[in-house]
Every structure is written in C-alpha cells, then in structure tokens.
Amino acid sequence: MIVVDGVVLGRCVTVRELMQRFGISKTTARKRLRRLERRGLVEKRRVGRVVLYCVREGVQVAASPQPSRPLGPVAGTRRRMEGVVEVVVREGCVTTSTLIRRYGFSHTQAFHVLRLLQWEGRVVETVVGNTALWCRDRATAEAFVERLREAVHRLAVSNGFRYVSPSKILRAVQRDRDAYALFSQVVPLSRIDDSFSPAALAFANSLLRMLYGEPVLRNQRKAVYIVAQPRELDIAIRDRVDKKTITVDIPHGLATALRDADVNEVVIQAIEQLLARYKP
C-alpha cells in the first residue's frame, strides 16, 4: 500500500488525489510521489490520459505509526479558503492579484486556495484576456463581464469612435469616473512611458473581441475593431477544475432568433434537410 505521512492511500494514487487529501499544491504532490518512485516503492503508469503512481509488484510498505491526517486541506489552508470565500461573496468577483495584495499570499498560495474552492464548487472562474476572475457563482460572473462590456460600448459610442483599439478604449476609461472605478478593480490603469500594462491591454482586447468580433486590423502593436452593435455575451466559465467548456460563435441575428427556439429541433431539421439534398 502507498503510505504518505502515515496515511494509507491504496495501491494506486494520482497527483490530484494527493492534492485533495493533504491540501497541498500540485508541485508538492508530484515531489512526494517522485520521491517514492526514486526509492523504488512505486512506479508510474498511464491509463489513457491519467497518470497513476502504483505500488511495485512484490513491494510491501507498512503503515507509519504516525497518526493519520484528516481528509481535505490542512487547517492553515482551510482558514485561507474561508477568508477568500468571505471576500468573494461580499464583492461578487475578485482577481488573483487582489487576494495576493489583501492577504499577503504568494501567487502559488492564492492559486492553490482558489483551485480548491473551485473544486468544491464555492467559486467559479472566467478568464478575460490574461486575467482570471473568481466569482461566487455563474450568474455573478456573467453579470460582471456584461457590466464591463456595457461600459466599453458606452464609451465607444459616447466618444464617437468609429474604430477603436485596446489602448484607445483604456484612455477613455481613464477619463470616465464610473468606468475607471469598475476597471480598476480588475487591471492596473496607470501608464508607464505612455503605455498600459500588457495585462490591461489584453483585458481590453478580449472585451472588444467579445463585443465586436474579429479585429479589422491586427499587427504586433495593436488590434483595431469597428464599433458596431454589441454581440451576444459568450464567455467560458469553469465550475470545476479541468472541466472542458466549448463556446460557439454565432451571428447576433441568429442568436436572437434561436433565443426562444428549441435548438435541438432546429439542428435535427437542418440535418434532415442536408440528408434530403444529397439523397441519391
């Protein structure tokens, strides 16, 4: 049997199982399992995409007399988790950097705590540009991103922009009190050498892409979008670790037409029409 810190884990274990049992990071879990592997006590096996660490044939490992640790995160990690949940519930959505500044976490600690909360279903994650937003639930995440989109479109229209780039919209955000208060919760808006941070530019670029589709001009320095009717909100929100989310981009008119329709029935009709067209 595999024994770690006096806890009997069975004949096979994954990195994720070790993370959940002890409340440790992925890096620490891998180090512990590799240490057992180097000692010849376990061997690495693959079952599809899953990596297992299993006891080698003929190896018997006695359980340590140390008392076993409880399941789930250790006490210090659990305290961090509860503090983070309190902030997320109160504010709706926060970024990883916000928690780092507020609690003095390292980036690894903050990321680990948020992943554990995500696994427990207590927060959801959505990524805008290179910025991860951690929100109390799916509806809150969608509402927050929609507020950001509305602010961007309002500024583009009120300033009479026909074409807009990430840096152009961020300069407009700096001049607008409400937009500045909203965006400053997420990304830094200060400029160094008359340029915004890469995180702020990527964030604004992602919002513009959500609103107006693909840019009409894109080079190494910037992307330029045509200001048009905003598209339907389409973001990927992850409720669990490694859960795959697939988003489909469809025209605004078609999205409106399908809003109250039975989409499955529409798809079936389309398939039937295609089959009838190519029927010999």
- 202-213 residue pLDDT tens: 999 999 999 998
Which domains does the chain show, CATH number per domain?
2-55 (1.10.10.10), 75-136 (1.10.10.10), 139-232 (1.10.10.1490)
pTM attached to this predicted model: 0.61
Report the pLDDT value the prediction gives residue 80, as an integer from 0 to 100: 82
Residues 6+ apart with CB under 8 A from 1: 8, 9, 10, 11, 55, 61, 63
C-beta separation of 109 from 76 below 8 A? no
Q: What's the mean pLDDT in 57-63?
A: 49
Question: pLDDT (tens digit, 9 = 90+) per residue, 189-235?
Answer: 988 777 899 999 999 999 999 999 889 887 656 789 999 888 877 77
Give the C-alpha separation, 254 to 130, whole Å. 29
Distance between CA 236 and CA 204 in Å, rounded? 17
Which range scores top for mean pLDDT: 50-64, 122-136, 243-257?
Answer: 122-136
Length of the chain: 280
Average pLDDT, the chain: 78
